[in-house]
């Protein structure tokens, strides 16, 4: 435990907020480490099998809800959020995104993944923040996280005033919607906890209704196995055939529940250039991306979170979207491109290519 008696924690927190702002964070909070109230929900979610094949969600047991067991000595958690709408995003951006989903031939990458991998951006900047704290205090016990470890990030964020939990399960803020990332620093400093905000979903259910696959099975309960984000990013192996038509042209992640949320008219653009949308990943046609070689894929996704899914899942996702495009409209170019991949070296890709070609005969989807 750090020598807390000689530190003015309230003054330190003011400095931390200032430094965090300079590093591109939008807001800082402080949470305690008693998350016992969240444990039943986590256990119920796992017991229902909602995590699908994300074994890492079950692997650490209740450590996920117990910061002081994950990092012994942790007394407080500094929570941080960072807005990620790419700079230059116009107001009314939701309409732009919804229009993309109406163009079956366009490849839609979800907004959070169009720029640099946020894991890298947030982790580096949280470490810089921790270094500045150490510069003031001397060495102290800490560890930084963003998405990468057994940490209940939305729970920590909502306890510490970074937003309330929306019915879509994400953290949501009155002045920032939900288009922000979360990160934390577990510290051995007894910092004063910040207050939670009140929830403002009210009777709204727009996100539940907008979800193309009905993955939000009840408010605050997400069956990841149905979520397009899970199916296109986390899930390895074949995508369940009954869900393929519902994926439409989404090739990496999904934003629909957030596009429907009225609070996202207050979403803020990023201050950092890191999240600027890469032209190669935004507004491109499915056929353009399908024509990439593996070397092209690696080049265009360097430093991007997309690289993590690898060439095989990338092609699988594109094949599904091409099949969905074919169902909407006959296209000799798409049929030809798919036929050329019938003997792909990968059995998973081959199976999805056959499925895609078979969509020609299907009646128009409603
Ligand atoms: C696993 C995961 C996923 C999974 C599952 C999502 C989920 N809701 O669980 C998948 C792959 C589907 C996913 C998708 C996305 N994700 Co994600 N994901 C995570 C991760 C790694 C863990 C989330 C988690 O703990 N889930 C476990 C369940 C138990 O938690 P929960 O849903 O919050 O459940 C609580 C309650 O709702 C309740 N509950 C839930 N189910 C049930 C069931 C019963 C019966 C009961 C009683 C209670 C109950 O209890 C729980 C505890 O309080 C976090 C990072 C982290 N380490 O926290 C990022 C994170 C949540 N994801 C993030 C993002 C950006 C996304 C996407 C928007 C990406 C995209 N555009 O495609 C989508 C959004 C989908 C959605 N609506 O959630 C951000 C969210 C930022 C924010 N503003 O909140 C995070 C925080 C990453 C980050 N560092 O920024 N994600
Ligand atoms: S990300 Fe898409 S599929 Fe997943 S819950 Fe939200 S709307 Fe549904
Ligand atoms: S769409 Fe409505 S219910 Fe869903 S998170 Fe936003 S305000 Fe809450």
Per residue in 181-203, pLDDT tens?
999 999 999 999 999 999 999 99
Is the pLDDT at 3 greater than 70? The verdict is no
Which domains, and CATH codes, for the chain? 4-90+113-187 (3.40.109)
Alpha helices in the chain (DSSP H): 9-22, 39-47, 56-59, 67-70, 93-101, 118-137, 153-159, 206-210, 228-229, 244-247, 256-259, 286-290, 294-300, 310-328, 332-339, 347-358
Question: Of all protein residues, whose CA lies closest to atom 27 belonging to ligand 1?
Answer: 42
What pLDDT is attached to residue 366? 46
What pLDDT is attached to residue 45? 96
Q: pTM for the whole thing?
A: 0.96
Alpha helices in 193-251 (DSSP H): 206-210, 228-229, 244-247
Report the residue among 153, 171, 177, 217 best suited for mutation to probe ligand 1: largest number of ligand atoms under 8 A from its CB. 153
What pLDDT is attached to residue 10? 87
Instruction: Name the closest ligand to CA 213.
Output: 2
Q: Is 260 in the pocket of ligand 3 (CB under 6 A)?
A: yes
Report the residue among 168, 209, 217 best suited for mutation to probe ligand 3: largest number of ligand atoms under 8 A from its CB. 168
Residue 45 CA to residue 35 CA, distance in Å, equals: 16
Is the pLDDT at 1 greater than 50? The verdict is no
- Average pLDDT over every residue of 163-178: 98
pLDDT digits (tens, 9 = 90+) for 267-280: 999 999 999 999 99
Question: Ligand 1 atom closest to Cα of 221?
Answer: 41
What pLDDT is attached to residue 149? 85
147 catalytic residue (yes or no)? yes
pLDDT bracket for residue 262 (50, 70, 90): very high
What pLDDT is attached to residue 8? 87
What pLDDT is attached to residue 214? 98
Of 147, 276, 344, 346, catalytic: 147
User: Which of 55-59, 224-228, 246-250, 318-322 is predicted least confidently?
Assistant: 55-59
Is the pLDDT at 219 greater than 50? The verdict is yes
Q: Is 216 in the pocket of ligand 2 (CB under 6 A)?
A: yes
């Amino acid at each position: 435990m750090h020598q807390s008696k000689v530190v003015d924690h309230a003054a330190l927190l003011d400095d931390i907020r200032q430094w965090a702002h300079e590093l591109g964070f939008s807001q800082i909070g402080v949470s305690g480490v008693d998350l016992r109230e969240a444990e039943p929900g986590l256990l119920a979610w796992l017991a229902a099998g909602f995590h699908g094949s994300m074994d890492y969600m079950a692997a650490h047991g209740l450590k996920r809800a117990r910061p002081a067991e994950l990092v012994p000595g942790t007394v407080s958690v500094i929570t941080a959020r960072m807005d990620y709408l790419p700079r230059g995003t116009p107001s009314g951006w939701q309409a732009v995104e919804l229009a993309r989903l109406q163009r079956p031939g366009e490849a839609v990458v979800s907004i959070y993944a169009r720029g640099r991998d946020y894991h890298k951006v947030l982790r580096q900047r949280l470490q810089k923040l921790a270094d500045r704290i150490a510069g003031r205090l001397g060495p102290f016990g800490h560890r930084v996280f963003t998405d990468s470890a057994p940490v209940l990030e939305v729970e920590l964020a909502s306890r510490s005033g970074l937003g309330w939990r929306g019915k879509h399960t994400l953290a949501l803020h009155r002045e920032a919607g939900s288009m922000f990332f979360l990160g934390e620093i577990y510290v051995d400093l007894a910092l004063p906890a910040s207050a939670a905000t009140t929830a403002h979903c009210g009777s709204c259910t727009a996100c539940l209704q907008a979800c193309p696959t009905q993955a939000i099975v009840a408010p605050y309960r997400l069956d990841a196995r149905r979520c397009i984000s899970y199916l296109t990013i986390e899930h390895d192996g074949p995508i369940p055939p009954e869900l393929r038509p519902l994926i439409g042209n989404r090739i990496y992640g999904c934003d629909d529940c957030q596009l429907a949320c009225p609070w996202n008219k207050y979403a803020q653009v990023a201050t950092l250039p890191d999240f600027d949308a890469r032209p190669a990943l935004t507004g491109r046609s499915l056929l353009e991306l399908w024509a990439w070689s593996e070397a092209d894929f690696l080049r265009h996704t360097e430093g991007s979170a997309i690289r993590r899914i690898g060439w095989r899942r990338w092609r699988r996702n594109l094949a599904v979207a091409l099949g969905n495009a074919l169902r909407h409209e006959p296209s000799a170019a798409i049929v030809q491109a798919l036929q050329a991949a019938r003997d792909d070296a990968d059995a998973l890709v081959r199976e999805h290519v056959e499925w895609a070609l078979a969509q020609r005969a299907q009646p128009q989807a409603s």
